[in-house]
Structure 1
Amino acid sequence: MPHASRSASLPELTTLFGEVQQHFLDVIVPLWQGPGWNADMALPYEALDAAHQPLPPQRYRAMACARQLYLFSSLIGVLDNAEVRAAALFRSLQRHFHDAEFGGWFYSIDPQGKPLDQRKDLYTHAFILFACAHYWDKSREPLVESTLNAALEVIGRRFATGDGLYEACLDRDWITLETGPLQNPLMHLAEAFLATLAVREDAQVKQALSELCTAMHKHFVDPQAGVLMEKPLGAVDNWYEPGHQFEWYFLLESSPLLRGSKLHAALDRAFAFTEQYGVVQSSGAVRAMLDLNMDGRPKDSTQRIWAQAEYLRALTLRPDSEAAVLRQLQALQQRFLHAGGWHECRDEQGEVSRKDMPSTTPYHLATCYRGLTDYLR
């Protein structure tokens, strides 16, 4: 993708990104190779505290396992032992979470490894598909592709509602729970479809992705503001999240298939609106939740590292964005990264409001840094 002409800030940006990437490889990833890894279960702990001790396990989620599978797949060829860890995570996904009786994957297991929440949710299945696509790209193992195919099959057969959308959650035996579709799982499904198409030609996936984006535009985009709501239009207590607007924008803008779609056009038009209300101009902090009925006043002003990373990644695909990319990378480094890892959340006043470091966050940093790498190329 062509970028606008580069300015004098490029050397500064390149140097800063080198520091941030090194921090990721030297500080963040080792947390999940060492203290964050439960060797007995061959699973990541859900979170570490500020002293790098695992929080007492309440559960292990398939989605967290899948995000770590993506993380270590992305590091194969970069980091020693990444291949070994990815293989262990893939085996654990199947051993701990696969439902041999009804198919699909459980949401979570308890600390002893017994099924805990046995429902089937789209968010989990989307991440399994996403992780398997990346891992298969690196490993080319037939078992990984067959798991990818199984995930695609179960998503299409069980979750699809027939109008391009998908149920957010079903019971263990696939009986409906009447959840209906929700924005966030559908976004990660789009991401997983794109990851699949990046590693193989697949006409069915291409069609499903196009139909999903058409349906998202019809059922989730507010006609006035052009933003994607978290629940279908007309739902009570609806809201939108700037982080998700930026995440969707990146997925759509980076895909030749989706660029130029109605959904892409809506989010492209709404980008400045989302920045105006969703980003604190003085600090570059991204607000968590906004309500269209409150004149842009935030519903929740928590500042989360994942939203910060998604805004930064989205900016790499905006025209003439170099100064903004540099500013936001500085904001990410100064506000969220530290010598012992990262701050997960800050409150409205900018105070650190969560001391723990979840195993799911490195996925957001890895995808953000991948976007920055492509941008600097």
Structure 2
Amino acid sequence: MNQPGFESAQNEYLKLRQWLFEAALPLWSLVGRDDANGGFFEKIDKNGAPVEAARRTRVVCRQIYSFSAARKMGWTGDVEGLVQHGWDFLQRHCFNADGSLITTVDLRNGARNTSFDLYDHAFALFGLSYAADTLEDKDSIADAALQCLEAMIAGWKHPVSGFEEAVPPVVPLRSNPHMHLFEAFLAWMENPSVKKPERWLSCLNEIGELCLSAFVAPENGSLREYYNHDWSVMRHHTSAPIEPGHQFEWAWLLTRWGKMAGRKDALVAARRLVEVGERGVDEARRLAQNGLDFDLAPIDRAFRLWPQTERIKAWLMMAETAVTPEDRDKAYAKVADAAIALQGFFKGVLPGLWVDRF
């Protein structure tokens, strides 16, 4: 059978894999690793030199994930050493006594931001799952993750569902950090090192239910960003209320959960989210825009890199769940389209770097 969509997607995958293995991973594992003070530099300048700045816990955990995932793809770099480097930094600088995590540490003066940040905790739990996947010290990493989760539940649990953004409570509440928590809970449910899996499963199902009942709009199936404290939608926020990138990202995650939990409603919602996300793709530039209004009309027409990667993931999911060979190949054609557009962010900079925003 002729499969032009699949063949195009495969060609773009090979290009991206080459960029990742030959440019990005070598650069970020060498220049991006701070052997003097520990951890990872957050930025590399246009000349290829690291930029010193306060270190965010979330970035350490994202790097742990990135290198771990690279090994699963076949990269032969020193993944265990890099992940151990990140885990050592977390243990030395990032944990509070109750198991929760700080937001940033400035290695130049020792200043630590200890205020609670839900987004950082989501990435910490996510990164710890991949650290446990990679390192021999699986038990203590799994214990640290569980202690962090219990600290979050004890200190920042929302009275209805999900989590607060701060204590005392503040608004808006946001769907975005809950999306990353959902991803972290999925990662731990798939991790054989998990401690108290029933605890993780309960949290996972709660976020999935919150998404379907509050985050997804019943009128058009879109995923909204900002909420009042009772989880009613905040209608008058200054930022875009609907982000195409997050439609794609939630679709991919809801599909994984829907399969795990036997939830057909999650699978149906996920497919609709991909359709909504495509409403934000600029036809001329083939890029996902930053923001839509409640009627799904573009209001932030700039482009960031990350929504393009989420679009790739969403259409890979659509290919995997397609009913007919024709629909599957159409989905792969979308994968190729998104991957081609993504590579525009790599132009005009050193190999392994990228432009974040057009």
8 Å CA contact 2:311–2:335 kept in 1: the answer is no
Q: CA offset at residue 120 of structure 1?
A: 1.4
Show CA shifts across 1:139-177 (max 9, x none).
242221211222222232222213221112x3xxxx424
- 1:282-301 equivalences under 5 Å are 282-292=284-294, 295-301=295-301
Matched, 1:44 2:40: yes
Other structure's SS at 1:124 match: helix
Show CA shifts across 1:28-84 (max 9, x none).
1122222222222211112112211223x3311100111011112223473231101
Amino acid at match of 1:138: T
Work out which of the residue numbers 312, 329, 332 in structure 2 matches 1:322: 332
8 Å CA contact 1:258–1:264 kept in 2: the answer is no
Matched, 1:340 2:351: yes
Other structure's SS at 2:158 match: coil
Work out which of the residue numbers 78, 81, 94 in structure 1 matches 2:78: 81
Q: What corresponds to 1:215 in structure 2? A: 210
- 1:190-205 equivalences under 5 Å are 190-200=182-192, 202-205=197-200
Q: What corresponds to 1:189 in structure 2? A: 181
Show CA shifts across 1:73-101 (max 9, x none).
2234732311011001001011111113x
Q: What corresponds to 1:109 in structure 2? A: 105
Work out which of the residue numbers 58, 66, 72 in structure 2 matches 1:63: 58
Matched, 1:311 2:311: yes
Within 1, Cα distance between the matches of 2:105 and 2:311? 33
Amino acid at match of 1:226: G
Structure 1 unmatched ranges of 5 or more: 348-377
Within 1, Cα distance between the matches of 2:300 and 2:49? 29
Q: CA offset at residue 115 of structure 1?
A: 3.5
8 Å CA contact 1:250–1:313 kept in 2: the answer is yes
Q: CA offset at residue 188 of structure 1?
A: 0.2
Q: What corresponds to 1:351 in structure 2? A: none
Structure 2 unmatched ranges of 5 or more: none
Q: What corresponds to 2:115 in structure 1? A: 119
Other structure's SS at 1:246 match: helix
8 Å CA contact 1:106–1:119 kept in 2: the answer is yes
8 Å CA contact 1:247–1:310 kept in 2: the answer is yes
8 Å CA contact 1:305–1:344 kept in 2: the answer is yes
Other structure's SS at 1:345 match: coil
Percent identical among aligned pairs is 26
Other structure's SS at 1:127 match: helix
Q: CA offset at residue 9 of structure 1?
A: 4.2
Q: CA offset at residue 258 of structure 1?
A: 4.9
8 Å CA contact 2:33–2:40 kept in 1: the answer is yes
Q: What corresponds to 1:274 in structure 2? A: 277
Q: CA offset at residue 339 of structure 1?
A: 5.3
Normalized against structure 1, the TM-score is what?
Answer: 0.81
Q: What corresponds to 1:176 in structure 2? A: 168
Q: CA offset at residue 246 of structure 1?
A: 0.4
Q: What corresponds to 1:247 in structure 2? A: 249
8 Å CA contact 2:40–2:60 kept in 1: the answer is yes
Show CA shifts across 1:279-334 (max 9, x none).
11222201111111xx5432322211111000011001113212111222222224
Q: What corresponds to 1:18 in structure 2? A: 14
Q: What corresponds to 1:157 in structure 2? A: 154
8 Å CA contact 1:214–1:262 kept in 2: the answer is no
Within 1, Cα distance between the matches of 2:25 and 2:266? 35
Within 2, Cα distance between the matches of 1:110 and 1:243? 31
Within 2, Cα distance between the matches of 1:258 and 1:181? 26
Matched, 1:234 2:241: no
Q: CA offset at residue 16 of structure 1?
A: 2.8
Within 2, Cα distance between the matches of 1:22 and 1:227? 35
Amino acid at match of 2:53: Q
Matched, 1:53 2:49: yes
Instruction: Let me know the Cα RMSD of the aligned residues.
Output: 2.3
Within 1, Cα distance between the matches of 2:178 and 2:334? 29
Q: 1:301 to 1:95 in 2, by over 3 A?
A: same
Other structure's SS at 2:260 match: coil
Other structure's SS at 2:220 match: coil
Within 1, Cα distance between the matches of 2:182 and 2:290? 21
Other structure's SS at 2:299 match: strand
Within 2, Cα distance between the matches of 1:291 and 1:9? 31
Q: 1:317 to 1:308 in 2, by over 3 A?
A: same
